[in-house]
Structure 1
Amino acid sequence: MELPKMPSMRLDGRRALVTGAGRGLGLACASALAQAGAHVTLVARTGAEVEEAAAAIRARGEQATAVALDVTDLDAAAAFMETGEAHDILVNNAGTNKPGPMAEAKVADFDLVMGLNLRAAYFLSQAFVKRLLAGKRPGSVINMSSQMGLVGAANRTIYCASKYAIEGLTKAMAVELAPAGIRVNSICPTFIETPMTKPFFENAAFREATLAKIKLGRIGSVEDVMGAVVYLASDAASLVTGSAIVVDGGWTAE
């Protein structure tokens, strides 16, 4: 009997680009992809953060390059994507939030969140896809979404709007690009303890309310997302496109 062979989750010989890679989820994704064998380009506005992260990856014997780039500068981002070797994997991780009551939201808050979470991700994906199409190459786009792209929450109307849009974008891109062998998926984490979210959890009431919704009873860690990003980037997910991997401890199951 010839047994089926598990498809490889190794990424040797592939190039991955991760935005918002200086800390938190972005750093974890970059680290995971590098451990799986990819050459990783870490992108963030703050050059010092990604330089340090890339150096730490290289010190492990893996491949990493740091790039200081504001992905909301669409012209600069598009120009960068045309330089050097093309990437095979794009992780749109850079994001932000401005929580608060809907009745008090400011136009500037809306523009900030939508500009980074949606507009920048859309046009960076466009630049990434153009190179793949020109070279007739397959690829993988992984959008860092959120459980808030699947449910609603008070004081998060702008953020939810941006993540629901990312979920729609993921599905539409997947349908359009499938004939070219380009897969597009999202990861939807629950609250993950990162430098951006840590201040929220210092509020005991907020922490308690959050834990009451996460059925597995703990706040997420960046390590909880690392397996999902490697899977979606790899041949093990070769028939997976237009999907969301929900890493929420059961929040959205109820």
Structure 2
Amino acid sequence: MTTTFTGRQAFITGASSGIGKALVSAFLATGYQVDGIDCAPSAFMAETRYRHHQADVTEFTALDAIFEQAEYGSENNLLINCAGTREICPVSELSLSLWERVFAVNVTASFIAGRAFCQQLVRHGVPGNVINIASVSGMMGEPNRTAYVASKHAVLGLTKQLAIEFGAQEIRVNAIAPGVIRTPLTEPYYHDPNQLNKIKRGQFIPQLGEPEDVAEAALYLSSPKARFITGSTLVMDGGWTIGKDL
């Protein structure tokens, strides 16, 4: 049975590494209670304001139950759907099972978590926000990533629909679309001169994206400073999507 407390609560999927880990760190540092959801253990297990749910987000019944049984804050509540996966293969080699797995993690889990979270906020009459971690791949096509690209386009559509459905209850829903961010998943790129050069040529500023950049954007979108922003996508990609070097 859910309860409420005086304070702020964040739920973060994909919480154990990369962008998710940076998000946990940022929201703990700003005084949130944080529930992390990830298949892997967390580096924050000893933190008194952190609770870890070691679970696969595609176990949808269990995912829904986390929100059914959780505590919610009277000041602010936040869900960040950060768990994600991808494939790298030509569409001719993309199996139906892999396509379904990518959509289950990237889209269906975000829908299940987003719906359950928003319903609980309405039930308790408390404020909150949802932030879906999308990608620039949700705004453009890329070779050999058919399921990933299609799923991230779907995440942007889901963001808009949740914003419409729950806006009257003062729940804001937005997305962040990062470009290439240095995480354990992309770390090999930074040790391959050709790949690293491709990343740099695709941007229009010299800085490379770090997980903390995404965390800072999430802190903004979840704050009162962003109170008039909903259904939007904040693109942070070093200029990746604004044009190309001819």
Match of 1:18 in 2: 12
RMSD: 1.5
Match of 1:143 in 2: 132
Q: Does 2:241 correspond to 1:247?
A: no
Note if contact 1:137-1:180 (Cα within 8 Å) is conserved in structure 2: no
Q: Secondary structure at the residue paired with 2:100? A: helix
Partner deviation per Cα, 1:161-189 (whole Å, 9 max, x = no partner): 01100001101111121100000000111
Structure 2 segments unaligned to the other structure (5+ residues): 1-5
Q: Distance in 2 between matches of 1:245 and 1:251?
A: 13
**Of the candidates 44, 47, 59, which is equivalent to residue 53 of structure 1?**
44
Give the Å deviation of 1:71.
1.3
Amino acid corresponding to residue 19 of structure 2 in structure 1: L
Structure 1 segments unaligned to the other structure (5+ residues): 1-11
**Of the candidates 27, 46, 52, which is equivalent to residue 66 of structure 1?**
52
Note if contact 2:67-2:117 (Cα within 8 Å) is conserved in structure 1: yes
Amino acid corresponding to residue 24 of structure 2 in structure 1: A
**Of the candidates 224, 229, 232, which is equivalent to residue 213 of structure 2?**
224
Give the Å deviation of 1:14.
0.5
Kindly indicate which of the two structures has a greater share of residues assigned to strand.
2
Note if contact 1:33-1:229 (Cα within 8 Å) is conserved in structure 2: no
Note if contact 2:8-2:72 (Cα within 8 Å) is conserved in structure 1: no
**Of the candidates 64, 70, 77, which is equivalent to residue 63 of structure 2?**
77
Q: Does 2:172 correspond to 1:183?
A: yes
Match of 1:33 in 2: 27
Give the Å deviation of 1:219.
3.0
Partner deviation per Cα, 1:33-72 (whole Å, 9 max, x = no partner): 11121111111112xx32x2242xx3xxx72222212111
TM-score, normalised to structure 2, is 0.91
Amino acid corresponding to residue 68 of structure 2 in structure 1: E
Q: Distance in 2 between matches of 1:204 and 1:97?
A: 23
Note if contact 1:71-1:77 (Cα within 8 Å) is conserved in structure 2: yes
After superposition, the Cα gap between the structure-2 partners of 1:201 and 1:112, relative to the gap in structure 1 and judged at 3 Å, is farther
**Of the candidates 179, 188, 191, which is equivalent to residue 202 of structure 1?**
191
Q: Does 2:35 correspond to 1:44?
A: no
Amino acid corresponding to residue 49 of structure 2 in structure 1: Q
Partner deviation per Cα, 1:100-152 (whole Å, 9 max, x = no partner): 21222111221111110001111111111111111222210000001111111
**Of the candidates 105, 113, 123, which is equivalent to residue 134 of structure 1?**
123
The within-5 A match list for 1:107-126 is: 107-126=96-115
TM-score, normalised to structure 1, is 0.88
Amino acid corresponding to residue 101 of structure 1 in structure 2: P
Note if contact 2:156-2:175 (Cα within 8 Å) is conserved in structure 1: yes
Match of 2:143 in 1: 154
Note if contact 1:42-1:54 (Cα within 8 Å) is conserved in structure 2: no
Q: Distance in 2 between matches of 1:132 and 1:249?
A: 35
Match of 2:3 in 1: none
Q: Distance in 2 between matches of 1:101 and 1:43?
A: 31
Partner deviation per Cα, 1:3-34 (whole Å, 9 max, x = no partner): xxxxxxxxx91100001101100010111111
Amino acid corresponding to residue 142 of structure 1 in structure 2: I
Q: Secondary structure at the residue paired with 1:82? A: helix
